[in-house]
Structure 1
Amino acid sequence: MNNPQGISDLSPSASSRRPVSPCTGVCEIDSDSGFCRGCARTSDEIAIWSRAPDDLLRKITAVLPARRAHLGIKIARLDWDEEEIARFMRDTLRPGKGRWVFGIDGAFGEFAIGAGEQPEVKNALTVATQAGAMRLRLPEKLRAFAFEEGKAIVMALPRGRLQPPAGVTLNAAGPDQGAIREGDRDALAFELGFGSPVARVFVRTKDQALQKRLQELEGEPWQRVLAEAGQDIREGSADRIILTSVGRMEVYARFTAPDIRQPQDPRTELQAEAIAGGREMPGEIELPKAYAPCAIFYPAR
């Protein structure tokens, strides 16, 4: 298996199974090198992939990292099948492994388990800490991509597998029956309505004053909601809930100003200007257009 640098301790063990296709949906042959600008295979290698013997596919897979480096390709599909992706997910939900990021640019949350922290384990793919919780799932056709040789791992789906985008107004969703902690299931959740097909963002609170303020704004566009109640959300007792195709993230820690935030603090953002920009991923990572991002994992350094 092709393991990018920086995630060797998290990657599933090598397998004798047939390699998966490295296609990223960018199908353009570089005229100088003869390699595809998306997957770094030659046109002949692409043509024979579905019928070539496994040993030949492994030999091709082994040379792709060097070719990608030659072409300056920053993102590559990992040679992981469904079982290996599931194993990777389980391994990340352990102390000191790294941090998950769910959401869109301007509206996202982070979850990490500190090196000395003892999380509450609900099951193999669901854990909770004092700062937040994660519930991961494995949808059909999920793909794993490595960005810049393991700087980040992106979980993505073919764009056609996404659900229709959420609405663009505040929606009172009622008690959060899907909450990971049982004690949060009577708190009221409000979807902020950013209209994204890749992530739905909610705030959840038991604070009656904040509940009333948000109920008064139900049906209003998210721009007005953040303008009129954004400060109340940031300063009040409100959890942030982010749902994507690969699961649920809950952030319990309060919003922290950048100048006083500690490195271990989970970061969360609600920035109207960035949200309005419409980028599907926070940070500098971009996926090929054929794929939609579901989550990003940053391995611990």
Structure 2
Amino acid sequence: MEPDLQEIVERGLADAETGWNMGSFGAVAEFHHVGDEVPQALAAPLTQVTQRGGVRIARLAGVRPLAYEMLSPKPHRWSQAVALCLPEAEAAMQRRDVLTELGPDSQALRPGDREAVLFDMGLAQPQVDFCIRTADPELLAELRAHAGRSLFDHDNPVMMAILKAHPHRVALTRLGRVEVYQKIGGPDTGGVSPEGPHTHVLPKLLRAGRTHSANAPIPAGWVPCASFHPENPVIGRMGEEKDFDPRSFDAFQALLRAWGPEEYLAAKSAVWAELAAGRGPESFTAPASRTGRTGLRNGLRQWRRMKGDNDCLAAWTAAFDASAEADDSAEDEKPGH
């Protein structure tokens, strides 16, 4: 029986271990709980808000969930996510390419933010309007003075004004929004993103015009408009090591069986059957697809965490997962990515 998507989303919003994000390849807003922060009762349907940020899922009709696991640069770990996808045409946002004033943010998650003014940053991304929101008179004047220009013009002072003022960031997609109230990672934060909700805007990646990483197995014609990251069985909320947790592992495997790529599932199942039988890798042919090869490699990593190491598994790892740290199919495993 297929999981109920609304029930899974509601459960995730109430779970401190589940992270959320909306954005594109190069511009992403992330929502996470921090430390011992306890999720509040949902402020509105499918909405979670803390003092650091918030997320609202406004639509699930027509959504295709895709559960997947990705390789980590660390060969004893893997990441996992569920992408909430829409057909490409339905996912499209405004793709404004200049700073644009949108007016008061009447849909803000917190009532006190609804008089603040929303500006589209003009990043021209396919499935997200990446915005800032402010009521600060000085920043408003600067933004209005340079509206209609690209933030990336070499003589445009607005980006530095934004970095100095730390306005709220708001990522809008056809499925809802993520809001971030914390400071922007940079000189004022020691060059690192703050723990919990934060944003990344990376001009080099934006120029690729991609909706998602090439390593994410999103089906052709579909676009991820939001993603959530259920509790990882080997990685803590802030990226720390943790002992293998069978409960969270089994919970995600159920989602993977229902919503995961067939070639990934087939490859993982095949290598587990070989390992269970104690057969070596000599006569095994690696899958032809990237997704299948990822399934094979993560299957080896997961078997080790579930069952421990032995000579047979070591031979499989040497044959198929020995170059993990140098492999560009491995993803940054920071929580929420």
User: Structure 2 length as normaliser, TM-score?
Assistant: 0.60
Please state if 1:272 is matched with 2:203: yes
How far apart are residue 274 of structure 1 and its match? 1.7
Q: Is the 8 A contact 1:94 1:113 kept in 2?
A: no
Q: Which amino acid aligns with 1:142?
A: V
1:204 is aligned, of 112, 133, 150, to 133
Please state if 1:92 is matched with 2:21: no
Q: Is the 8 A contact 1:166 1:194 kept in 2?
A: yes
Number of positions where the alignment pairs a residue of Structure 1 with one of Structure 2: 221
How far apart are residue 300 of structure 1 and its match? 2.3
Q: Is the 8 A contact 2:168 2:179 kept in 1?
A: yes
- Structure 1, unaligned stretches of length 5 or more? 1-14, 16-78
How far apart are residue 286 of structure 1 and its match? 4.5
Q: Which deviates further from its counterpart, 180-189 or 112-121?
A: 112-121
1:101–1:233 CA distance, 2 compared to 1 (3 A): same
How far apart are residue 240 of structure 1 and its match? 0.3
Q: Is the 8 A contact 1:95 1:115 kept in 2?
A: no
What's the counterpart of residue 66 of structure 2? 145
Please state if 1:127 is matched with 2:48: yes
What's the counterpart of residue 288 of structure 1? 219
What's the counterpart of residue 187 of structure 1? 116
Q: Is the 8 A contact 1:103 1:282 kept in 2?
A: no
1:142–1:236 CA distance, 2 compared to 1 (3 A): same
| Separation in 1, partners of 2:104, 2:199 | 22
How far apart are residue 159 of structure 1 and its match? 1.7
Q: Which amino acid aligns with 1:298?
A: H
2:181 is aligned, of 246, 252, 261, to 252
| Separation in 2, partners of 1:283, 1:102 | 17
Q: Is the 8 A contact 1:118 1:129 kept in 2?
A: no
2:169 is aligned, of 240, 243, 248, to 240
Please state if 1:224 is matched with 2:147: no
How far apart are residue 195 of structure 1 and its match? 2.1
User: Structure 1 length as normaliser, TM-score?
Assistant: 0.66
More helix by share: 2
How far apart are residue 283 of structure 1 and its match? 8.4
| Separation in 2, partners of 1:264, 1:116 | 12
CA RMSD of aligned residues (A): 2.5
| Separation in 1, partners of 2:110, 2:138 | 23
- Structure 2, unaligned stretches of length 5 or more? 71-78, 233-337
Q: Is the 8 A contact 1:151 1:298 kept in 2?
A: yes
